[in-house]
Amino acid sequence: MTFDEYDIVVVGAGHAGAEAAAAAAKLGARVLLVTQMLDNICQMSCNPAMGGVAKGQIVREIDALGGWSGIVTDRSAIQFRMLNLSKGPAMWSPRAQCDRMMFSLNWRQVLESIPGLSLWQDEVTGLTFDGNAVSGVLTRMGHRIPARAVVLTSGTFLNGKIFIGEDTWRGGRVGESPAEGLSDQLREAGFEVERLKTGTPVRVDGRTIDFSKLVEQPGDEHPSKFSFSDTLPLTTQRSCYLANTNLHTHEILRKGFERSPLFTGRIQGRGPRYCPSIEDKIDRFSDKDHHQLFVEPEGWRSQSYYLNGFSSSLPFEVQLEALHSIAGFEQAQVFKPGYAIEYDYFPPTQLYYTLETKRVENLYFAGQVNGTTGYEEAACQGLMAGVNAALKLKGKSAFVLSRSQAYIGVLIDDLVTKGVDEPYRMFTSRAEYRILLRQDNADQRLTPLGYALGLADESRMRRVEQKVEQIELLSKSVEDAQVYPTEEANQWLAAHDSAPIAQRVSMASLLLRPELSIEGLLEMDDAVAGVADKVPEPMRSEVLQEVETSIKYHHYIDKEQEVAGRIQKFENISLPMDYDYFALAALSYESREKLNRYRPATIGQASRISGISPADISVLLVTFAK
């Protein structure tokens, strides 16, 4: 078979590869997505869920821009929960449990429906170059596929090695071959290549679990959804469950430490700090007498349960004995053992903000090859890499999101500016403007940008415009409405554990009280309630939530917007990419070294590099600010 030249070849069909291919094709590029197994597109290798703390915000941002992860999640969901509702709205994070097989199938159907996007089952073993630019890929079947750009999204498959106790073999996932050759070729081309490690727990046969000993964790009573489009919320849901390890479990696990590849040094890569293996947890937190486990169903009809929190690379017989010591799992049978996997990644300081590599033109990296962990982190990188590859081939300006625009901007800035020495996971604490970057306003922040690119369609843009109009109308109505100190009003306030009023106040000022909500206050004014009732039902809850948040937190929102505006001035001051910083004697030696190594694009980016002091930034401002 002879391949014509493609605009873009995407290597790997995980969450990063799928979003990259879909986005690039939507922007008019002729795309080929190459993967080892077409039946495993967007496989949920670890837990069968999307979203969670900060990750849910990322999925909503992908959706707002016109990506597909939110839509596929809604179509595949079996449970929905909004996390952190007891905290402020900046912390609210959507999470959906998914049917693993449906998720993969739905993604394949999406990819097969996009014009200009082709699929090919094969393994990419190398790249071809034309001078300093990538020119195509080579495959295991012996094909040379020419391309103007390549997006590499190989996940954990690059020289992947699997560990279960003393047994070790090469693989990208259990039962799947690793991707070999690419890392070595890129190392020879001058790229830094390092190792990371991650793991996954046992899959348990639900027919052998005693759920009466577990704590049920149902979905939300009124479930929401991820996509701002017309996907439907769940009407029925499957429950998750909570279990706990105990001291006996820990004793059993410790018996296997001498055979653990983690403790014997056979695993060299650094594992995820915030999702450690169970043996790592009981070693690091030896004072704890138990650890919580989340028992998660893997589908509507599947009997397979994922034991979240029980990731392990210990010998299988140790895993099984420890599992049987947990209440509810005394007779549990296992479908698949837990295992660790070690793989190559490329330190992401070798990338521009567009995720194009600095060393090779038109070569882009996205996902776990950049040192991240998680489907959501991978998907957003794929989207941005695919968009920027397509834009560059068309001669258009790059699409880059700032830290004050999106969690996606925070993630990419962290990667290319600071690098990683352990698998990177997004948290709300990483976003300094998190009150601006809420999950509920992702469409208002990003859909206009996605629409301008050509990713988000006309219907999405019209919906956002309608939502903004409804928010403005209701906000003005709430601000104008006056509440008088009548006996009826004060009785209503007392019934809601709120202090009485002695003089006329606006409804907006009452809404500042933490114990009061806009839904409740609508009972006090028929005119305001009438405005709220005119909001179209599909977006009514979104509009009410946005109005309440903007009024309750307007001081914080205004302050963050002011700070973001001041910082943005630094982001607009460009730095030359070929400047020799050793010529600037006023800089500290450490700063000169790091500026020459990382090549920041702006003074704002330079300010976030570890070791660059405020005095160094002043020198850069004097030198480069015009």
Q: Is residue 158 in a domain? A: yes
pTM for the model: 0.93
Spatial distance between the Cα atoms of 273 and 421, rounded to a whole number of angstroms: 10
Confidence of residue 571 (pLDDT cuts 50, 70, 90): confident
Residues 395 and 418 in one domain: yes
Lookup: tokens for 207: 């027919």
Residue 572's pLDDT is: 82
Residues 603 and 501 in one domain: no
Residues 471 and 596 in one domain: no
Residues 176 and 321 in one domain: no
Residue 273's pLDDT is: 76
Stretch (H or E) spanning 204: strand 194-205
Residue 56 Cα distances to 53, 294, 435, angstroms: 6, 18, 15
Q: Taking CA 515 as the corner, what is the angle to CA 478 and CA 537, rounded to the nearest 5 degrees?
A: 50
Q: Is residue 565 in a domain? A: no
Which residue(s) pair with 6 in the sheet? 147
pLDDT, one tens digit per residue, over 444-480 is 999 999 999 999 999 999 999 999 999 999 999 999 9
Residues 388 and 496 in one domain: no
- The residue type found at 306 is Y
Q: Residue 407 pLDDT more than 90?
A: yes
Residue 28's pLDDT is: 98
Confidence of residue 543 (pLDDT cuts 50, 70, 90): very high
Parallel/antiparallel/unpaired status of strands 6-11 and 31-35? parallel
Residues 39 and 170 in one domain: yes
Residue 625's pLDDT is: 83
List, in order, residues 6 or more apart from 509 with CB less than 8 Å away: none
- The residue type found at 445 is R
Residue 598 Cα distances to 162, 336, 347, 357, angstroms: 33, 42, 11, 12
Q: Is residue 388 in a domain? A: yes
Asked if residues 55 and 374 have their Cβ atoms less than 8 Å apart, the reply is yes
Residue 378's pLDDT is: 98
Spatial distance between the Cα atoms of 581 and 612, rounded to a whole number of angstroms: 13
Parallel/antiparallel/unpaired status of strands 292-297 and 304-311? antiparallel
Indicate the number of domains in the chain: 4
List, in order, residues 6 or more apart from 360 with CB less than 8 Å away: 129, 132, 133, 134, 189
pLDDT, one tens digit per residue, over 413-450 is 999 999 998 999 999 999 999 999 999 999 999 999 99
Asked if residues 467 and 444 have their Cβ atoms less than 8 Å apart, the reply is yes
Q: Is residue 402 in a domain? A: yes
Spatial distance between the Cα atoms of 532 and 31, rounded to a whole number of angstroms: 46
Spatial distance between the Cα atoms of 426 and 283, rounded to a whole number of angstroms: 25
Residue 465: give its domain's CATH number.
1.10.10.1800
Name the E strands within 277-319: 292-297, 304-311
**2-20 burial, b if ≥16 CB within 10 A, otherwise e?**
ebeebbbbbbbbbbbbbbb
Q: Which residue in 419, 318, 309, 259 sits closest to 46, CA to CA?
A: 309
Lookup: tokens for 254: 């410790």
Q: Is residue 566 in a domain? A: no
Asked if residues 465 and 449 have their Cβ atoms less than 8 Å apart, the reply is no
Residues 162 and 214 in one domain: no
Q: Which residue in 389, 349, 397, 345 sits closest to 369, CA to CA?
A: 345
Which residue(s) pair with 304 in the sheet? 205
What 3-state DSSP class applies to 185?
helix
Q: Which domain-ending residue is among 423, 451, 479?
A: 451
Residue 610's pLDDT is: 78
Residues 174 and 58 in one domain: yes
Asked if residues 387 and 19 have their Cβ atoms less than 8 Å apart, the reply is no
Spatial distance between the Cα atoms of 286 and 269, rounded to a whole number of angstroms: 23
Spatial distance between the Cα atoms of 277 and 285, rounded to a whole number of angstroms: 12
Residue 153: give its domain's CATH number.
3.50.50.60
Spatial distance between the Cα atoms of 75 and 194, rounded to a whole number of angstroms: 37
Residue 614: give its domain's CATH number.
1.10.150.570
Start-end of H helices in 225-354: 247-255, 278-284, 316-324
Average pLDDT, the chain: 94
Taking residues 535-560, report their average pLDDT.
Answer: 92
Domain that holds residue 90: 6-196+343-451
Q: How many helices (H) and strands (E) does the chain have?
A: 21, 21
Sign of the dihedral defined by the CA atoms of residues 616, 622, 623, 626, in that order:
positive
Q: How many CB atoms lie within 10 A of CB 475?
A: 18
pLDDT, one tens digit per residue, over 17-55 is 999 999 999 999 999 999 999 999 999 999 999 999 999
Q: Which domain-ending residue is among 560, 582, 604?
A: 560
Spatial distance between the Cα atoms of 372 and 57, rounded to a whole number of angstroms: 16
Residues 536 and 583 in one domain: no
Start-end of H helices in 394-534: 407-418, 442-453, 458-480, 487-495, 507-511, 518-521, 526-533
Residue 1's pLDDT is: 61
Residue 399's pLDDT is: 98
Dihedrals phi, psi of 481, to nearest 5 degrees: -65, 135
**59-71 burial, b if ≥16 CB within 10 A, otherwise e?**
bbbbbbbbbbbbb
Q: Residue 626 pLDDT more than 80?
A: no
Spatial distance between the Cα atoms of 62 and 70, rounded to a whole number of angstroms: 7
Taking residues 553-566, report their average pLDDT.
Answer: 89
- Residues present in the chain in total: 626
Spatial distance between the Cα atoms of 273 and 270, rounded to a whole number of angstroms: 9
Residue 409's pLDDT is: 96
Residues 251 and 148 in one domain: no
Taking residues 269-285, report their average pLDDT.
Answer: 83
Spatial distance between the Cα atoms of 480 and 67, rounded to a whole number of angstroms: 39
Sign of the dihedral defined by the CA atoms of residues 579, 582, 585, 589, in that order:
positive
Lookup: tokens for 347: 């330190």
Confidence of residue 320 (pLDDT cuts 50, 70, 90): very high
Taking residues 257-264, report their average pLDDT.
Answer: 83
Q: Is residue 480 in a domain? A: yes
Q: Is residue 567 in a domain? A: no
* Alpha-carbon torsion angle 303, 304, 307, 311, nearest 10: 170
- The residue type found at 108 is R
Q: Which domain-ending residue is among 393, 428, 451?
A: 451
Confidence of residue 412 (pLDDT cuts 50, 70, 90): very high
pLDDT, one tens digit per residue, over 327-383 is 999 999 999 999 999 999 999 999 999 999 999 999 999 999 999 999 999 999 999
Spatial distance between the Cα atoms of 487 and 500, rounded to a whole number of angstroms: 9
Q: Residue 61 pLDDT more than 90?
A: yes
Residues 555 and 591 in one domain: no
Q: Residue 566 pLDDT more than 90?
A: no
Residues 263 and 302 in one domain: yes
Q: Is residue 619 in a domain? A: yes
Taking residues 533-543, report their average pLDDT.
Answer: 90
Q: Which residue in 115, 117, 97, 123 sits closest to 40, CA to CA?
A: 123
- The residue type found at 230 is D
Q: At what angle do helices 407-418 and 375-393 cross, to 10 degrees?
A: 80
